[in-house]
Amino acid sequence: MIIVKLPESAQAAQLDTACRRLLIACYGFEDRSLGWAAYQEAPCLAHGGALLIRYKRPKGKNRVRQLRTALRALGLAAPTEMSCDGRFPITIEHDLESVFRRCLRGTEEVILDISAMTKLLILACLCKLSGFPGRLRLIYSEAEDYAPTCQEYMSASSEMARVAIFPSRGVESIIRLTCLSSIRMQGQPTTMIAFASFNEQLVRHMLGSLSPHRLLFINGRPPRPDYAWRERATQEIHRKLIDEYANDNPVDSGGGLVRTVSTLDYRETVEELDKGYRRYGLYERIICAATGSKMQTVGLFFSKMMHPDVHIEYPTPDSYFVRGMSTGVRTVHEVVFDNFSQVVRSLHECAADAAALVERY
């Protein structure tokens, strides 16, 4: 049972200029990469700064000029930049540590905009910010429309040669970061936990690399009624694997996976992962695949903070299909942690108390 109360998501606030802030964001090619900057009206960064991360191998034409223009309207003239290359993950950790050390000096509040970040970068940034004692404002801009549409999925589901309309396909590599790793219980049976998505190959590649004896799927439940069909679709895409590991993946009376959480409320992910850990983590090594939504990935980070012996790996998609990836901005969400380092410490302490209780009995 999770003792630490984590804050819920809400609509992002309109910020004033009374605080020294640092914005951390990525250049992106989707409309929502500009969501937070376009949403703000006051020059809320006039007394702060920004760290903009530029992908060395962008999946589309990033909106560099548009984001810089939007930030100038918020009072920021010269942001700091760093590059990110997923082919060399060890440099990501080192570069983030180095640039955070410089940029966080005197910062009262960090605005971490994950809207254009890869799941790997979300996890890395949160890990490297875990010692920040100020306020962390985590931003996620929800798109108005996502690919594929229901009609596209239905037409392609019976003809896998047309899978190119899905947001990603295939697997390029499996990336491991030191901050997400754990060597505990090596040699023990492995339980793998993965999130259902529109790319089954991500999970299959992980299975081939790890050969776990148990596979737990967590499906995603979109908060919007018009996207409810995606919950059934992602389960259907993984149907063969779910059937292969049927004992580990119970379904309800309607045939849906019991282990299903919101794609937006990260706290449900934390709770579901905690259930899996309490059931299997004392006797088996748990490895999580970061294959879920961006906010499910945030939940994965907090689960790692609760249970440091959990190991996380990131299978990178072979390619993204830029056309129709997502369009528009529906809502700009935020989760506010008033003292981020204290939240992380509380999760560590919660895990330590639970471990001591187990040893006692």
Share of the chain above pLDDT 70, in %: 89
Q: What is the pLDDT of residue 153?
A: 85
Looking at the structure, tell me whether residues 333 and 319 fall in a common domain.
Answer: no
Looking at the structure, tell me whether residues 220 and 333 fall in a common domain.
Answer: no
Domain annotation covers residue 160: no
Q: Tens digit of pLDDT for each residue in 197-220?
A: 998 989 998 998 889 999 999 999
Q: Tens digit of pLDDT for each residue in 102-117?
A: 999 999 999 999 999 9
CATH code: domain of residue 232: 3.40.50
Looking at the structure, tell me whether residues 174 and 312 fall in a common domain.
Answer: yes
- Of the listed ranges 49-63, 109-123, 161-175, 345-359, the least confidently predicted one is 161-175
Domain annotation covers residue 61: yes
Q: What is the pLDDT of residue 98?
A: 94
CATH code: domain of residue 39: 3.40.50.11700
Q: What is the pLDDT of residue 271?
A: 96
The predicted model scores a pTM of 0.92
Looking at the structure, tell me whether residues 172 and 290 fall in a common domain.
Answer: yes
Domain annotation covers residue 258: yes
Phi (first) and psi of residue 71, to 5 degrees? -70, -35
Given pLDDT bands bounded at 50, 70 and 90, which one contains residue 58?
confident
Q: What is the pLDDT of residue 204?
A: 92
Looking at the structure, tell me whether residues 192 and 312 fall in a common domain.
Answer: yes
Whether 162 has a pLDDT exceeding 70, the answer reads no
Given pLDDT bands bounded at 50, 70 and 90, which one contains residue 72?
very high
Q: Average of pLDDT values for 223-232?
A: 96
Looking at the structure, tell me whether residues 106 and 243 fall in a common domain.
Answer: no
Domain annotation covers residue 153: no
Give the structural domain span for 277: 168-323
Q: For the chain, how many structural domains are there in total?
A: 2
Whether 359 has a pLDDT exceeding 70, the answer reads no
Looking at the structure, tell me whether residues 186 and 265 fall in a common domain.
Answer: yes
Looking at the structure, tell me whether residues 195 and 272 fall in a common domain.
Answer: yes
Domain annotation covers residue 149: no
- Of the listed ranges 37-46, 151-160, 315-324, 335-344, the least confidently predicted one is 315-324
Looking at the structure, tell me whether residues 16 and 117 fall in a common domain.
Answer: yes
Domain annotation covers residue 163: no
Q: What is the pLDDT of residue 89?
A: 74
Looking at the structure, tell me whether residues 174 and 318 fall in a common domain.
Answer: yes
Given pLDDT bands bounded at 50, 70 and 90, which one contains residue 170?
very low
Q: What is the pLDDT of residue 261?
A: 98
Whether 21 has a pLDDT exceeding 50, the answer reads yes
Looking at the structure, tell me whether residues 295 and 211 fall in a common domain.
Answer: yes
Q: Average of pLDDT values for 241-257?
A: 96
Looking at the structure, tell me whether residues 172 and 318 fall in a common domain.
Answer: yes
